């Protein structure tokens, strides 16, 4: 398959690297020092699933250099979605699908405004990975992509991408319930990102402190309540499965928002805990824990600069 990774940071770089190593035609869209490193030394991935070095990769910062592709893995940060989506046109062919892998639940509609709803599929990524230096990724745990058409079909284009992911050695699934998948990830990520960032602590600290764990589970319940009020049907085992995931994470695991906070970068807060508060207000559901997280982190939302 011809695949473009639009936003080749941790998530895009990891899955794009695995796909390229498996023989797919992958082009990385990147910028700045990271783009320069990809061009000069290729892509390095440090991972418990096996280290990977691709000495030569296709990398650019110009969509016109890529042309139409089968799949765009759209992995830019939430605050860059609107601007980045406006530049996608040169990569969109008749059956191109843009798989949004942002952490919130609003990216699908934001991208569809620019490329048309028929060209967008929702997606979620379960992975802990960070760009620790330009051209180099450090992967800690998990490597799963779930993606789906909004009409619930297992379309040929997404089934083909599912097979490409499986060949590349990571978990990939074309889902028939992508809205529930997006909200399930949102329940977890909005909470994990907020709790680790507001405490400036990795998951082990939050998980192993009784009061912090209770606070985290209250935040989980708040996001579930907002989703249900908006008509989302969650899996019956969501809370138990979420606790199991929390228990399985290495104690040193950090959310991407905590990594951004520590590095003085912009935060995705308005689309995570901030979105829980905003969407909750629209349906009359109180979200005091997420309101606290949002209030405490708002001074840092635009980064150290």
Q: For each successive 10 residues of the chain (305 residues), what is the average pLDDT?
A: 94 97 97 95 95 96 96 93 95 97 90 96 91 94 93 95 97 95 94 96 96 97 97 94 90 90 94 96 98 97 83
For residue 305, being part of any structural domain is answered with no
Same domain, 154 and 117: yes
Q: How far apart are CA 250 and CA 203, in angstroms?
A: 8
Single residue among 131, 160, 176 that ends a domain in this structure: 176
Report whether 256 contacts 224 (CB < 8 A). no
Q: Provide the pLDDT for residue 250.
A: 86
Q: Give how many domains the chain has, as a whole number.
A: 2
User: Do 243 and 263 fall into the same domain?
Assistant: yes
The pLDDT, as a whole number, for residue 177 is: 93
196 and 148 within one domain = no
Give me the CATH number covering residue 238.
Answer: 1.10.1040.10
- Mark whether 234 and 249 lie in a shared domain: yes
Do 144 and 189 fall within a single domain? no
Of the three residues 115, 145, 176, the one that is the final residue of a domain is: 176
Question: Which residues are within 8 A (CB) of 221 and not within 5 positions of it... i.e. 6 or more apart?
Answer: 239
- The neighbour count for residue 253, using CB atoms within 10 Å, is 20
Give the E-state strand segments of the chain in sequence order: 2-6, 25-29, 43-46, 52-54, 58-60, 69-74, 92-100, 120-133, 136-148, 171-174
Residues 286 and 185 in one domain: yes
Instruction: Assess if residue 132 is contained within a domain.
Output: yes
**Quick one: 54 and 103 in the same domain?**
yes
* Cα R_g (the chain), whole angstroms: 18
3-state SS, residue 272: coil
Has residue 227 been placed in a domain? yes
- Looking at the fold, whether 154 and 170 belong to one and the same domain comes out as yes
pLDDT number for residue 305: 53
Tell me whether residue 251 is in a domain. yes
Residues 82 and 171 both lie in one domain: yes
| Dist CA 16 CA 145 (whole Å) | 12
pTM of the entire structure? 0.85
My answer on whether 35 and 150 are in the same domain is yes
Query: In whole angstroms, what is the distance from residue 171 CA to residue 193 CA?
Result: 23
Tell me what pLDDT residue 249 has: 86
279 within a domain of the structure (yes/no): yes
| Opening angle at CA 226, ends 185 and 12, nearest 5 | 25
The DSSP element (H or E) to which 102 belongs, if any, is: none
Residue 153 located in a structural domain: yes
Domain boundary among 130, 161, 176: 176
Q: Where are the alpha helices (DSSP H) in 53-127?
A: 63-66, 81-85, 107-115
DSSP class of 271: G
pLDDT at res. 6:
96
Q: Kindly state whether residues 265 and 290 are assigned to the same domain.
A: yes
CATH label of the domain that carries residue 117: 3.40.50.720
Q: How far apart, in whole angstroms, are the C-alpha atoms of residue 19 and residue 131?
A: 18
Is residue 24 domain-shared with residue 138, that is, in the same domain? Answer: yes
Domain that holds residue 256: 180-300
How far apart CA 276 and CA 270 sit, in angstroms, is: 9
């Amino acid at each position: 398959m011809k695949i473009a990774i639009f936003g080749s940071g941790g998530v895009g770089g990891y899955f794009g690297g695995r796909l390229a190593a498996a023989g797919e035609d992958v082009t990385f869209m990147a910028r700045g020092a990271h783009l320069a490193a990809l061009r000069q030394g290729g892509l390095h991935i440090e991972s418990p699933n096996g280290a990977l070095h691709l000495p030569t990769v296709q990398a650019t910062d110009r969509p016109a250099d890529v042309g139409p592709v089968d799949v765009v893995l759209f992995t830019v940060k939430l605050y860059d979605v609107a601007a980045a989506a406006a530049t996608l046109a040169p990569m969109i062919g008749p059956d191109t699908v843009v798989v949004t892998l942002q952490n919130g639940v609003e990216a699908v509609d934001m991208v569809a405004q620019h490329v048309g709803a028929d060209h967008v599929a929702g997606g979620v990524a379960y992975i802990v990975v960070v760009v620790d230096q330009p051209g180099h990724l450090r992967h800690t745990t998990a490597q799963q992509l779930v993606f789906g058409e909004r009409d619930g079909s297992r379309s040929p284009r997404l089934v083909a991408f599912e097979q490409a992911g499986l060949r590349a050695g990571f978990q990939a699934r074309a889902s028939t319930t992508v809205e529930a998948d997006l909200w399930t990830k949102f329940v977890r990520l909005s909470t994990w990102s907020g709790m680790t960032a507001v405490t400036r602590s990795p998951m082990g600290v939050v998980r192993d402190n009784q009061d912090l764990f209770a606070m985290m589970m209250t935040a989980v319940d708040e996001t579930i309540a907002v989703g249900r009020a908006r008509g989302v049907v969650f899996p019956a085992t969501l809370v138990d499965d979420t606790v199991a995931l929390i228990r399985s994470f290495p104690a040193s695991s950090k959310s991407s928002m905590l990594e951004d906070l520590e590095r003085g970068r912009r935060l995705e807060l308005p689309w995570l805990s901030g979105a829980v508060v905003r969407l909750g207000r629209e349906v009359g559901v109180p979200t005091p824990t997420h309101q606290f997280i949002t209030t405490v982190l708002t001074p840092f939302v635009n980064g150290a600069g």
